[in-house]
Amino acid sequence: MTSSVHDDRPAGAAAQSPERRRALTGGITGYFVDQFDIYLPVIALAPAMAFFVPPGLDASTRTIIGAFIFTATLLGRPIGAMIFGVLADRTGRRKATIIAITGIAVTTLLIALLPGYSSIGIWAVVLLIALRLLDGVFLGGEYTAAIPLAMEWTPKRRRGLASGLITMTSPLALCLISLLTLLLLQIFPAGSPDSPYAVWGWRIPFVIGALLAFGVLYYFVRYVSEPEAQQPAGTGARRVSPLRELFAGEHRRSLLQVFVLMTGIWTVLNVTVTILPELTSAAAGMTSTQLTLALVVASAICTVTYPPAGLASQRFGRRPFYIVTGAVVVVVGGGTLAVLGRATDLGYWSATALLTVAFTVGILAFGPIAAHLTERFPASLRATGYGVGYSLALVVPAFFAYYLLGLEALVGPALAPAALVVIGGLLTVAGAWLGPETRDVDMHSG
């Protein structure tokens, strides 16, 4: 009886409940910092772009620059996953996490201190893009190391819930940063390069992000430890690189399955976060403030659905969860976007309700993802497999705007977003179908 209770825990787990809780808390707070940082340029920096670009720049070019700032972060994440995945698998998850969080804190603070175009010219936006690229590397490293660490400390019967508690910080971060930006814009006017928000108001969320990162860094240094069963034997004990083993070894099939699954999930997320708000605003004639409030409502409701999603995957299995979730995305998510794409006179609350349904369905798949992806790879390359599989799949969906143009020629502009969500849902189903059930994997076996 004793072995059946403890067979999914590190050695000496009966006396290590505080360590498990601290590792999970570190995973939750670290992922929150990651997600808070991701949304900073999209939400907090967008109203202040005039501060970084030449005056009189046309709107389309400014939009392209803003998109490239966000894309630079996305490009950095797979690089960080590869670098810190190898570091975590060879020297330990805790050490890699501490280095990555330090990098996040420093780069975010440096961005908050950047001068504008009026001071250093085009170098203002060049430095901003370069720092966001570097920040993306550290962001990719943070979740690559911290989430496997949290999952390895968690008993397998609780991994689904633990995953939901970690990933729920993504919509929570979106909700909080939206409220913060909305509040700052009410206090500090935006618009011209010399407006209070453009000169220094946008810096406040970045400083907060840096302080949060420093706080998580202190927590990891002070309280989080490496599971004894996962402590590396030393760099000399491994001859094969985790990256080589992942791409050229026996685990490349696992990587392919994760890549298909995450490509579908990221495709749906991109449409949900970027196109869905525009459709909702057009369908109900919302102002920017009304739309922001609607997004706050949607993200707040979505936040509380992640732990139940993790529990459902623990009860019924990860594979059935993702097959059903992908099908729901196809039917409910695609249908909701089709309604919003064709509507022109929806009321505010009707549009907000549809936005909330589509938003929740569109990103619900992230609930158990931390558990499922870490369960797919053995301890010797778990951080590398998780980080690369999670991050590399960002690349194909990153060009979703071009896919929308092609779909518009087939189904029209009103239905193109819905069609792309359907494709993402089908890829999610296919990715789950290709993989095995993982909820009973012993993460502490050889």
| Tokens read off for 357 | 């349904």
> Smallest Cα–Cα separation from 74: which of 427, 405, 371, 393?
393
pLDDT band at 239 (very low <50, low <70, confident <90, very high): low
- Measured distance CA(317)–CA(216) in Å, rounded: 32
> pTM for the whole thing?
0.87
Cβ 184 vs Cβ 205: under 8 Å? yes
Average pLDDT, the chain: 88
Whole-number Å distance between alpha carbons of 249 and 241: 10
Cα 320 from chain centre = 23
SS3 431: helix
The domain segmentation of the chain, as residue ranges, is 17-226, 242-446
Burial of 236 (0-12, 13-18, 19+ CB in 10 A): exposed
Mean pLDDT of 139-154: 93
- DSSP category for residue 439: T
For the 242-446 domain, the top CATH level (class) is mainly alpha
Amino acid at 356: T
pLDDT value, residue 405: 87
Sign of CA dihedral 362, 364, 370, 373: negative
pLDDT for res 400: 86
User: Which of the four pLDDT bands, split at 50, 70 and 90, describes residue 371?
Assistant: very high
Least confident of 8-22, 45-59, 91-105, 129-143: 8-22
Cβ count near 250 (within 10 Å): 9
* Mean pLDDT, rounded, for 114-128: 92
CB 202 within 8 A of CB 177: no
Q: With 60 as the cut, is the pLDDT of residue 2 above it?
A: no
Q: Which of 101-110, 183-192, 293-302 has the lowest mean pLDDT?
A: 183-192
Section 123-139 average pLDDT? 94
- Return the CATH fold of 17-226: Growth Hormone; Chain: A; (1.20.1250)
227: pLDDT strictly greater than 60: yes
Contacts of residue 93, Cβ cutoff 8 Å, sequence gap at least 6: 145, 146, 148, 149, 152, 226, 230, 383
| Per-residue pLDDT at 327 | 97
Residue type, 375: E
**The pLDDT value given to residue 445:** 64
pLDDT at 10: 47
Residues 256-287: pLDDT tens digits? 999 999 999 999 998 988 888 888 988 888 88
| Whole-angstrom distance, CA of residue 148 vs CA of residue 93 | 7
163-167, 330-334, 402-406: the lowest-pLDDT one: 402-406
